[in-house]
Structure 1
C-alpha cells in the first residue's frame, strides 16, 4: 500500500472515531476482551461457533449432542508438544524466503 493511500485510510478512521467518540483505549480494551473470549472457548464447531462450557448450551451444541455426537468431539485442544521443535532458521537474509526453494526437507532436519 502506498503512503498516500495509507494516510487517507488513517485520516478516515480518525474522523469516524471522533464522530462516534471512540478512543484508542476503547479499541484496545475491545480487542483484549475479544482475545479473552476466544481463549476461553472450550468447544468449537466446524462453522466457528464457540462455547466456553458455562451456562446454557447454545443451540448448535444441543443439536449436535441430540444427534448423537459427543461433546468431546468439539473440544478445543490447546496442548503444545514441547518435544517437537522446528529448526532455527534465519530467513531475513534468504533471497528465496517464502518461495518453494526455501523449504527444508525432512532429511536435512535430521542431519542438523
Structure 2
C-alpha cells in the first residue's frame, strides 16, 4: 500500500473511531482479547477462524465436517499429536482442498 493510501486509511479510521466514541485503549484491549482467543484456540481452519472447543460448534467447522472432513484435521499444534517437523512444513492456507471431501485422509 502506498503512503498516500495508508495516510488516508488512518484518517478514515480515526474519524470513525471518534464518531463511535472508540478510544485507542478500547481498540488495544479488543486486539489483546482476540489474541488471547487465538492462543487458546483448539481448532483452526486455513483462513484463521478458530474455536476453543467450548460452546456450540461454529458454522465453518460444522460445514467442513458435513463435507467429510475430520475434526482432528483442524486441531491446533498445541492440541495436536503431530510431529513438530511436520507441523512446521505444512501450510494449510495454500491447501486448495481444505474443508472438501478431497481433503479426507484414508487409512488403508
Give the TM-score normalised by structure 1: 0.50
Q: Which residue of 1 aligns with 2:21?
A: 21
Extract unaligned runs of 5+ from structure 1.
82-112
Q: Which has the higher helix share?
A: 2
Q: Which residue of 2 aligns with 1:30?
A: 30
Extract unaligned runs of 5+ from structure 2.
85-108
Task: Tell me: higher relative CO, structure 1 or 2? Use CA pairs within 8 A at least 6 residues apart.
Answer: 2
For the structure 1 residues 42 and 11, does the alpha-carbon distance in structure 2 shift closer, same or farther, using more than 3 Å as the test?
same
Give the TM-score normalised by structure 2: 0.51
Q: How many residues align?
A: 80
Give the C-alpha shift of residue 66 in structure 1: 5.2
The CA RMSD over aligned residues, in Å, is 3.3
Give the C-alpha shift of residue 58 in structure 1: 2.6
Work out whether 1:49 is the aligned partner of 2:82.
no
Give the C-alpha shift of residue 12 in structure 1: 3.8
Give the Cα separation in 2 of the matches to 1:38 and 1:27. Answer: 17
Give the Cα separation in 2 of the matches to 1:39 and 1:12. Answer: 30
Give the Cα separation in 2 of the matches to 1:71 and 1:23. Answer: 39
Give the C-alpha shift of residue 24 in structure 1: 0.7
For the structure 1 residues 18 and 75, does the alpha-carbon distance in structure 2 shift closer, same or farther, using more than 3 Å as the test?
same
